[in-house]
Amino acid sequence: MEDGGASRSPRRYAGVDVGSTATKAVLVDEAGTVLGRGLAPTGISGEKAARRALEAAGLTDLDAVPVAATGYGRELVDFAARRITEITCHARGAFAQRVAELTLIDIGGQDTKAVAVGPGGSVRRFVMNDRCAAGTGRFLEVMARALETDLERFSALASGAEKASRINSMCTVFAESEVIGLLARGASRAGIARGLVEAVAERVSGMARKVGLLETVALSGGVALNPAVVVALADALGRRIAVLDDPQYVGALGAALLCRERSANRPT
Ligand code: ADP
């Protein structure tokens, strides 16, 4: 019996964001609806991490679906049909959720970016800090360790502090020494945690101001999962911050959507 082509599997598109710390994958259908998400630690092989993240997103047959790679390790994904810069992908992924002009702040493991996103998810302006750990997840991880805690408790400590201890250096090495010195002088761990979060917010808010604050200010990246950072950033900017849905996957979502859009014009 004829099935009129109904048995043909519907088209799907994938995006994989090979970040310095975590590799994220998103699988979408023809309409751009998310079918699955997956994450794997990047480790020493971006290519293997990409395969693992895609598998975790529900993609088992890599030949069946076009994949767009983004992120700092995108060149390592040899099976990718396309490679697209992370700024472009983040802008597209954020626009998919807000459908309006916005200033996007992305705080990842080892870089931070601010992007002014225009109509259709286009990039108007951006600044990126990818040379040092200042104002990134890595900075907070090192400081949490110096305070002998994990990231979750670090955020809770900072949120519960009555007063912040001033942290003067944003260099990870110097700031860690400052933290140890403050602890030795009897400063509270909560106050130090708050001071560290405020220092990150100050630095990142400066980047956001540089690209310009549009109507919506949105946050993505793994550090968006740290509530103390979100509050400190809102205070530093004097603006409400919209944390995007599944914030760590925004770049991978943008890559998947761009893969879908570009494949429609140029079949792979
Ligand atoms: P990258 O793309 O650079 O690998 P991500 O956007 O994936 O970075 O973010 C990874 C970072 O997010 C980690 O280094 C970690 O500091 C932070 N992070 C991840 N999950 C959490 C969480 N639940 N709470 C606070 N920080 C988190």
Q: Which residue, judged by its Cα, is nearest atom 15 of ligand 1? A: 137
The pLDDT of residue 4 is 42
Residue 164 has pLDDT above 90, yes or no: yes
Q: Mean pLDDT, to the nearest integer, of 96-123? A: 94
- Whether the model clears a pTM of 0.85, i.e. scores above it, the answer is yes
220 Cβ closer than 6 Å to some ligand 1 atom: no
The pLDDT of residue 141 is 96
223 Cβ closer than 6 Å to some ligand 1 atom: yes
- Rounded distance between C-alpha atoms, residue 59 and residue 14, angstroms: 8
The pLDDT of residue 225 is 97
Beta carbons of 223 and 107 less than 8 angstroms apart: yes
pLDDT one-digit tens code per residue, 39-84: 999 999 999 999 999 999 999 899 999 999 999 999 999 999 999 9
The alpha carbon of 112 and the centre of ligand 1 are apart by a number of angstroms equal to 11
The alpha carbon of 61 and the centre of ligand 1 are apart by a number of angstroms equal to 28
The pLDDT of residue 52 is 98
149 Cβ closer than 6 Å to some ligand 1 atom: no
The pLDDT of residue 6 is 44
246 Cβ closer than 6 Å to some ligand 1 atom: no
If one residue of 223, 225, 244 were mutated to test the ligand 1 pocket, choosing by the most ligand atoms within 8 A of its CB, it would be 223
The alpha carbon of 145 and the centre of ligand 1 are apart by a number of angstroms equal to 15
Range with the poorest average pLDDT among 33-37, 71-75, 129-133:
129-133
Crossing angle between the packed helical segments 189-211 and 151-160, to the nearest 10 degrees: 90
If one residue of 16, 18, 21 were mutated to test the ligand 1 pocket, choosing by the most ligand atoms within 8 A of its CB, it would be 21
Q: Tell me 86's DSSP state.
A: H
Q: What band does 163 get if pLDDT is binned at 50, 70 and 90?
A: very high
Distances in whole angstroms, Cα of residue 172 to Cα of each of 110, 156, 168, 169, 196: 12, 21, 11, 8, 11
Q: What is the mean pLDDT of the chain?
A: 93
16 Cβ closer than 6 Å to some ligand 1 atom: no
The pLDDT of residue 133 is 82
pLDDT one-digit tens code per residue, 180-233: 999 999 999 999 999 999 999 999 999 999 999 998 999 999 999 999 999 999
The pLDDT of residue 264 is 66
93 Cβ closer than 6 Å to some ligand 1 atom: no
The alpha carbon of 5 and the centre of ligand 1 are apart by a number of angstroms equal to 43
Token look-up 């990126």 returns 128
45 Cβ closer than 6 Å to some ligand 1 atom: no
Q: What band does 5 get if pLDDT is binned at 50, 70 and 90?
A: very low
The pLDDT of residue 109 is 93
222 Cβ closer than 6 Å to some ligand 1 atom: yes
- Rounded distance between C-alpha atoms, residue 203 and residue 182, angstroms: 21
